Amino acid sequence: MVGAQARASSSLRRAAARAFSSSTSPFFRGIHVFKCPDVVGIVAKLSECIASKGGNIHCVDVFVPENKQIFYSRSEFSFDPSRWPRDVLESDFQRLAKHFSAERSTVRVPDLDPRYKIAVLASKQDHCLVDLLHRWQDQRLPVDINCIISNHPRAPNTHVIRFLERHGIPFHCLPTAPGKKGEEEILKLVEDTDFLVLARYMQILSGGFLQAYGKDIINIHHGLLPSFKGGNPSRQAFEAGVKLIGATSHFVTEELDAGPIIEQMVERVSHKDNLTSFVMKSENLEKQCLSQAIKSYCELRVLPYESRKTVVF
Amino acid sequence: MVGAQARASSYLRRTLARAFSSSSISPFFHGIHVFQCPDSVGIVARLSECIASRGGNIHCVDVFVPEDKQIFYSRSEFAFDSTRWPRDVLESDFQKIAKHFNAERSIVRVPDLDPRYKIAVLASKQDHCLVDLLHRWQEGRLPVDINCIISNHPRTSNTHVIRFLERHGIPYHYLPTALGNKREQEMLGLVEDTDFLVLARYMQLLSGGFLQAYGKDIINIHHGLLPSFKGGNPSRQAFEAGVKLIGATSHFVTEELDAGPIIEQMVERVSHKDNLTSFVMKSENLEKQCISQAIKSYCELRVLPYENRKTVVF
């Protein structure tokens, strides 16, 4: 099937599944994240809003930093859409956001709202891309994949290309050269996405691109930032004789490998490891770390915090 | 008691305890042998035959030969009867094998017979690593003799550290440093009779001249996950970098700051819920564990230099 048809069909399937199963339970799950200047009464007001519409709160994370008057919260609740329709849900929270001059107020109902649409950028290294695609196929990655963009060609008989064809996901090969990053074309191809994932994409995206795209870009760095920035961190780590190696997923900013960190993972290494096993352990970590970051992001768990950090609920 | 008397008395007590408990029930002592030589066929066979031929029973062997280098590393632990294999014969037997294989390194150690490693601990203002080391030593969990403490920061007589040291007869030497005067000559004099040094958050850089003159190993604790955050205040650096993991690194000291061969690293998770205080607290916990683990491994002959920047840690 062609990609768009496949996605429409998938969305329809999901809503139908929900509708048929909902005769037992009319409740949908909602997630609300909120960021505003801190004052007394925010939690009371948010929870009263949910309760007044018959919503049942299952989970709340609230965080106010020690030394700043900023309020962060994330709530999960179940609600009956016949009692609290989706558009009313939206406007109720918007009213609260206005009341508290919120910098951010996002409500999401995963089973009703369209999935996040992403594009994945990759270079020659396959492992992160393949792992993402498999998790997506196993429905463990709650996104729609618009397309794959790569500066490295892949022949039609490769696993990746055959997989993408089966699922109707376009593969765009945009070879880069010094002075020719192809960013204009990339911008066009990713116009209709909610965020981007760099799955070992080895080109640096310019400040101009970041500004023009304007939305979040998640990268996986195969090292424990800020150690080993730049190229071949496994080799750098191997030669430094460290006893722990890691991977870091983070938001992309203009500065290379320096954006706010979302997740980090480590594994032990010793003299028994050679460069090959360093790389292998690192690749394992990258796959886990990147998919964990995407999952957290889609579940609205990741919020920017100060200029270089994140709150991850 | 004066320090030296206390130590001699401790040594005597230990050997007597061994003698009284061992002679009638078990004359077996626990030996450790580490070996590094050019690789060839037959080394393990030779070493193990040597131990067996003297009635020694091997309990543990670690052998490592790197993929791409003809270098052999091993560490063996064995039990032996000292009446059947006297300590000096033990020494010469292994020396013979070391010579045969042109070993770069062959060390045998019998912890219950040989004198303990003698160390000096250098510290600055921060107490936590020093205090932790002293308490572990007092509890018998750090198998060393502490010759003295050297610090570039004064401590008054009514502080926990000073009272502790006085009770145990361990001298405390206050050597304030100043620009252009690191007091290294005096330090060399004070640490002459040590087997290795421990820098327990000692904040002065030891010069290449000192390292060369001292000549023996120096273990440092860096309160960060090297090579991240070298230099000062790594907890603050980590806090501002928004990392999700912080760590500590123990390593050998070389002329280059925070760059010597790494012995041990430990991590802990941090999140937005952590402030600078909890970053520092988690970091201090890690430092204490990491440095004492490194010292323990070192005393058990588990740490061997590997290539120029790394270690084998069995």
How high is the pLDDT of residue B1? 45
Does A12 or B147 have the greater pLDDT score?
B147
| Any B CB within 8 A of A210 CB | no
Convert the pLDDT of each residue in A83-113 to its tens digit.
999 999 999 999 999 999 999 999 999 999 9
How high is the pLDDT of residue B16? 58
β B172-174/B245-252 pair status? unpaired
Does B102 or B230 have the greater pLDDT score?
B102
CA distance B241 to chain A (A): 6
A chain contacts of residue B271, beta-carbon cutoff 8 Å = 311-312
Q: Is the CB of A242 less than 8 angstroms away from the CB of B227?
A: yes
Average pLDDT over residues A62-69: 92
Average pLDDT over residues A208-235: 91
- pLDDT of B148 over the 50 cut: yes
Average pLDDT over residues B236-245: 93
Q: Is the CB of A261 less than 8 angstroms away from the CB of B243?
A: yes
Reduce the secondary structure of chain B to three states and give it as a string: CCHHHHHHHHHHHHHHHHHHHHHHHCCEEEEEEEEEEECCCCHHHHHHHHHHHCCCEEEEEEEECCCCCCEEEEEEEEEEECCCCCHHHHHHHHHHHHHHCCCCEEEEECCCCCCCEEEEEEECCCCHHHHHHHHHHHCCCCCEEEEEEEECCCCCCCCHHHHHHHHHCCCEEECCCECCECCHHHHHHHCCCCCEEEECCCCCCCCHHHHHHHCCCEEEEECCCCCCCCCCCHHHHHHHHCCCEEEEEEEECCCCCCCCCEEEEEEEECCCCCCHHHHHHHHHHHHHHHHHHHHHHHHCCCEEEECCCEEEEC
Q: Is the pTM of this model over 0.80?
A: yes
- pLDDT of B155 over the 50 cut: yes
Quickly state the pLDDT bin for A227 (edges 50, 70, 90).
confident
| Any A CB within 8 A of B71 CB | no
Q: Does ipTM exceed 0.95?
A: no
Does A147 or A257 have the greater pLDDT score?
A147
How high is the pLDDT of residue B25? 59
Quickly state the pLDDT bin for B308 (edges 50, 70, 90).
confident
Q: Which of A223-227, B15-19, B68-72 is most confident?
A: B68-72
| Any B CB within 8 A of A215 CB | no
Does B232 or B208 have the greater pLDDT score?
B208
Query: Across chain A, what does the average pLDDT equal?
Result: 91
Average pLDDT over residues B145-154: 96
Average pLDDT over residues A192-209: 95
How high is the pLDDT of residue A8? 55
Looking at chain B from residue 130 to 169, which residues have their Cβ under 8 Å from any Cβ of chain A? none
- pLDDT of A128 over the 50 cut: yes
- pLDDT of B3 over the 70 cut: no
Catalytic residues of A, which ones? 257
| Any B CB within 8 A of A310 CB | yes
- pLDDT of B19 over the 80 cut: no
Does B259 or A189 have the greater pLDDT score?
A189
Looking at chain A from residue 73 to 102, which residues have their Cβ under 8 Å from any Cβ of chain B? none
Convert the pLDDT of each residue in B78-102 to its tens digit.
999 999 999 999 999 999 999 999 9
Average pLDDT over residues B65-74: 93
Nearest to A271 among B68, B247, B312 (CB): B312
| Any B CB within 8 A of A111 CB | no
